[in-house]
Amino acid sequence: MNFRPGELPGVMIIEPKVFGDDRGYFMETWRDNLFREAGLGEVFVQENQSLSQQGVLRGLHYQIRQPQGKLVRVISGRVFDVVVDLRRGSPGFGRWTGVELSAENRRLFWVPPGFGHGFYVLSEQAEFVYKCTDYYAPEHERVIRFDDPDLAIDWPLLPGVTTQLSEKDTAGVPFATADLYD
Q: How far apart are CA 127 and CA 77, in angstroms?
A: 7
Strands 70-76 and 57-63 come out as unpaired
Residue of 25, 61, 140, 181 with catalytic role: 61
Q: Which residues contact 66 (CB under 8 A, 6 or more apart)?
A: 134, 135, 137, 140
The CA-based dihedral angle spanning residues 128, 59, 105, 131, taken in that order and rounded to the nearest 10 degrees? -50
Q: How far apart are CA 159 and CA 89, in angstroms?
A: 37
What stretch of H or E contains 81?
strand 78-85
Per-residue pLDDT of the chain (182 residues; tens, 9 = 90+): 999 999 999 999 999 999 999 999 999 999 999 999 999 999 999 999 999 999 999 999 999 999 999 999 999 999 999 999 999 999 999 999 999 999 999 999 999 999 999 999 999 999 999 999 999 999 999 999 999 999 999 999 999 999 999 999 999 999 999 999 99
Amino acid identity for residue 92 in this structure = G
Q: Which residues contact 17 (CB under 8 A, 6 or more apart)?
A: 1, 2, 27, 28
For the chain, list the domains and their CATH numbers: 2-177 (2.60.120.10)
Task: Please compute, for residue 77, the number of CA atoms within 13 A of its CA located in the half-sphere on the CB side.
Answer: 22
- Stated pTM of the model: 0.95
Q: How far apart are CA 145 and CA 165, in angstroms?
A: 10
Active site annotation includes 61: yes
Active site annotation includes 140: no
Q: How far apart are CA 137 and CA 68, in angstroms?
A: 10
Q: What is the pLDDT of residues 19-60, one digit of tens each?
A: 999 999 999 999 999 999 999 999 999 999 999 999 999 999
Residue of 62, 117, 120, 130 with catalytic role: 130
Amino acid identity for residue 116 in this structure = G
